Structure 1
Amino acid sequence: MATIAQQVVFHPVVSESLKVWSTTVGRDKTYRAVQYFARFLAWFLLSKGEKINAARWNALKSHLALGRKLMRLGKPLEHLQSALKATTASGPAVEQLTTIGRQLAYFGYLSNDALVWANSVKFWNLKPSTAARVNKLANQFWLAGILFSITFGLLKSARISSEIKDLQSSGVWTEKGTQADRDAKILSLERTTAGVRYQFIIDLFDVWIPATNLGFVNLNDGVLGLFGLASSLLALRTQWLSVTGRK
């Protein structure tokens, strides 16, 4: 029995999970996945008329959302630093501008989101009309940040695809060393493209959440819950691979 317990407790998956959850990003993405799953489940139970069970999952969703706001209180400065670093980075100007726009938008989103949290916990009381404006502004910045990220992904993916085609069609490669260098560069570009497209998929799931909050589209909590769950699991996978060193 003790041997079985040791095999479970010290299983590599358990060890890797603890390593991922020891990071702020790992915990945040896990909480986010549970939050949006709870949002979907509360909607599903409510549609079945199970109001008591739905209320439990709604409460979990709300508390996780509030807790995640607290965890993100320092993140606006991270995005501001990233925006400043992007101003001196090399690369195509349009990609640089979309990167700066994305980071500034997330800075605005998380700054206003911090005010939403402060009002929610009664640390800083806002008038209902002011609180509504702050919440709307947070969603506007959030939507802008995702749209900048989508634009960046499209531009960078197109540019890299063009570079790969140029490398593949440029002359006859007879020297082994030269051909090996070209193949290595193509492989590197393909990996970069895969990363960009992966983030693009995450953004496509997430964009509907602030868009619905702002009234641009009208998706129900069930759909938004599934979209948020999907994007959270994809982001968690990225963090998992980063922390564990898997490829």
Structure 2
Amino acid sequence: VGRDKLLRTLQYFSRFYAWYLFRTNRPQTAIAPFESIKKQFGLTRKILRIGKFIEHFKAAAVAFDNKAPVDPILRCLAVGRQLGYAGYMSYDTITVIHALGIKKLANPKKMQENAYRAWLASLVCSAIAGVYSLWKLHQREKLVDRTEGEGAVELKKIQKYVFSMQERAAARVQLISDLFDLPIPLSGVGIVPLDDGIVGLSGTVSSLLGIWSAWKKTA
């Protein structure tokens, strides 16, 4: 995961910087290295993701069959998120076969657009889940503040509050990351016409947030 996030950061930063150099009328010799990094790292990431759709199909099944007491809305959104990623990775794998020349597709652009649509659906589910989770945490914090007593119970209240604050921070970072990712598939399917500068910068920020979140989990 860490390797993919690092490659993703370099890929999208190169996309942004190549756009910046082009807009500032720099020579093609200065732009070409970053265009190459963007393409090669993008293909490398696709190759590393081959077969990953299986993991997401399994994750969707686990989320659906979860026997623990889970909010039904969050359960549905979790299933939708994982199925979206599974679809994205499935189409992504097909485009790799075309990119490597193993089997040429009649319409590779259509396959890539389908991949973006699946990713967009996944991001929408994830973003809605993030907003809903933050709202639920806010409601829970208010309930704890109003119903807990003093003394020994106060410690329990503080522990609950700190835990929910950690959950809130994680949910907020994930939501921000999803929102920064949204321009990529929105542009990819042509819903919102965006230039490489916005797409590259959005991808860079979301990738850096992913690296930071991964680091926080291991720190």
Q: Name the TM-score, length of structure 1 as normaliser.
A: 0.84
Alpha-carbon distance in structure 2 between the residues aligned to 1:136 and 1:220: 17
> What pairs with 1:106-185 in structure 2 (closer than 5 Å)?
106-127=85-106, 129=107, 131-170=108-147, 173-174=149-150, 176-185=151-160
Question: Which amino acid in the other structure matches residue 156 of structure 1?
Answer: S
Alpha-carbon distance in structure 2 between the residues aligned to 1:142 and 1:223: 18
153-162 or 43-52, which moves further after superposition? 43-52
Alpha-carbon distance in structure 2 between the residues aligned to 1:98 and 1:188: 23
Specify the SS of the correspondent of 1:122: coil
Q: Displacement of 1:118 after TM fit?
A: 0.8
For the pair shown, which has the larger CA radius of gyration, 1 or 2? 1
Query: Where does residue 215 of structure 2 map in the other structure?
Result: 240
Aligned to 2:22, which of 46, 50, 54?
46
Alpha-carbon distance in structure 2 between the residues aligned to 1:219 and 1:148: 22
> What pairs with 1:215-230 in structure 2 (closer than 5 Å)?
215-230=190-205
Alpha-carbon distance in structure 2 between the residues aligned to 1:239 and 1:193: 16
Runs (5+) with no aligned partner, structure 2: none
Question: Which amino acid in the other structure matches residue 233 of structure 1?
Answer: L
Does the 8 A contact of 2:7 with 2:41 survive in 1?
A: yes
Alpha-carbon distance in structure 1 between the residues aligned to 2:181 and 2:60: 21
Q: Displacement of 1:204 after TM fit?
A: 0.7
- The list of structure 1 runs, each at least 4 consecutive aligned residues, that deviate by more than 3 angstroms after superposition, is none
Q: Displacement of 1:240 after TM fit?
A: 2.0
Alpha-carbon distance in structure 2 between the residues aligned to 1:154 and 1:77: 28
Aligned to 2:161, which of 168, 186, 207?
186
Cα RMSD over matched residues? 1.1
194-203 or 131-140, which moves further after superposition? 131-140
What per-residue deviation string (whole Å, max 9, x for no partner) do you get for residues 106-155 of structure 1? 0000010011111011112111x3x1221111010011110000011011
Q: Displacement of 1:219 after TM fit?
A: 1.6
Query: Where does residue 96 of structure 1 map in the other structure?
Result: 75
What per-residue deviation string (whole Å, max 9, x for no partner) do you get for residues 206-232 of structure 1? 001000111111221111111111111
Tell me if 1:202 matches 2:177. yes
> What pairs with 1:30-109 in structure 2 (closer than 5 Å)?
30-49=6-25, 50-89=27-66, 90-109=69-88
Specify the SS of the correspondent of 1:123: coil
Runs (5+) with no aligned partner, structure 1: 1-24
Question: Which amino acid in the other structure matches residue 75 of structure 2?
Answer: Q
Alpha-carbon distance in structure 2 between the residues aligned to 1:164 and 1:101: 27
Q: Displacement of 1:48 after TM fit?
A: 2.3
Alpha-carbon distance in structure 2 between the residues aligned to 1:219 and 1:47: 14
- Residue-pair matches, total: 216
Alpha-carbon distance in structure 1 between the residues aligned to 2:146 and 2:125: 32
Q: Displacement of 1:158 after TM fit?
A: 0.6
Alpha-carbon distance in structure 1 between the residues aligned to 2:2 and 2:156: 36
Q: Displacement of 1:169 after TM fit?
A: 1.2
Q: Name the TM-score, length of structure 2 as normaliser.
A: 0.95
